[in-house]
Amino acid sequence: MNEIIELGDISISVTRKDIKNVHLSVHPPEGRVTLVAPTSTRLEVARAYAISRLGWIREQQSKLEAQAREAPREFVERESHYIWGRRYLMVVNHQDAKPSVVLDHKRLILTVRPGSDAHKRAEVMHEWQKLQLHAVVPMLIKKWERKLKVRVAGYYLQRMKTKWGSCNHQAGNIRLNTELVKKPKDLLEYVIVHEMVHLLEPTHNERFISILGEHFPTWREARAELNELPLAAEVWKE
């Protein structure tokens, strides 16, 4: 059962694991705080550590509160959309032709049939976004299969409300959030590497961190950037 440390208005959920060091985390979106401590740690010791980090906890929570949130998209004229980290303005063409999406300099041209509603426009965009990901994901997986000496049985793209990616360790599959098409490609690569390392180590233990750090030394910066970029109306975590 989880224990709780109350520090004024901050509740910290404490769990114990077979690890060497204390790990304190502030999780998006609402700034939930968790503390993972070595099995033998007494609660008073964990509490003293949390008190010593109180300023840092409040700073992280303030950052999350102030974080820019991207309003839900309506797929209308002159709306901003991000593709691979670059901002484009949407142009909507109504034509009796097959729906399509084209990137042109700083414009994102969405062609739909006359009378197409917001739901249909969103569907056309989502299918196009998946195509953009399918064009780059296999190459990145191949690259990291060689480096990590693992094999990905398959990958899937889907909308996910709470994660950037996931890994089914037993089946050897990884899932990627289609929202990643909005982020710079190096962040997509970080998520792919993160999930592929789970094929070697299913949990986020010290071995996992060690493998990830060896192969992708800038993972902490990548994770921070992923959480700092404008988010969709839903909120993401790893």
Pairing of the two strands 173-177 and 165-168 = antiparallel
Pair (115, 199) in one structural domain: yes
Question: What pLDDT was estimated at residue 105?
Answer: 85
Q: Considering the domain boundaries, does residue 237 fall inside one?
A: no
Residue ending a domain, among 66, 101, 121, is 66
Asked if 30 and 13 touch (Cβ cutoff 8 Å), the reply is: no
- CATH code of 137's domain: 3.30.2010.10
Pair (211, 121) in one structural domain: yes
Pair (106, 173) in one structural domain: yes
Distance CA(151)–CA(144), nearest Å, equals: 9
Task: For residue 150, give every residue at least 6 positions away whose Cβ sits within 8 Å of its Cβ, in sequence order, or none.
Answer: 144, 196, 199, 200
Number of domains the chain contains: 2
What is the average per-residue pLDDT within 181-190? Answer: 94
Q: Is the pLDDT of residue 82 over 70?
A: yes
Question: What pLDDT was estimated at residue 1?
Answer: 55
The tokens for 132 are 């953009």
Q: Considering the domain boundaries, does residue 73 fall inside one?
A: no
Q: Considering the domain boundaries, does residue 75 fall inside one?
A: no
Record the pTM: 0.68
Q: Give residue 38's domain range.
A: 3-66
Three-state secondary-structure class, residue 26: strand
Taking each helix axis from N to C end, the angle separating 185-197 and 118-148, rounded to the nearest 10 degrees, works out to 60
238 falls in which pLDDT band (50, 70, 90)? very low
Q: Considering the domain boundaries, does residue 236 fall inside one?
A: no
Q: 201-237 pLDDT, tens per residue?
A: 998 889 999 999 999 999 988 988 887 655 443 333 4
Cα angle: 22, vertex 225, 87; to 5 degrees: 165
Pair (148, 51) in one structural domain: no
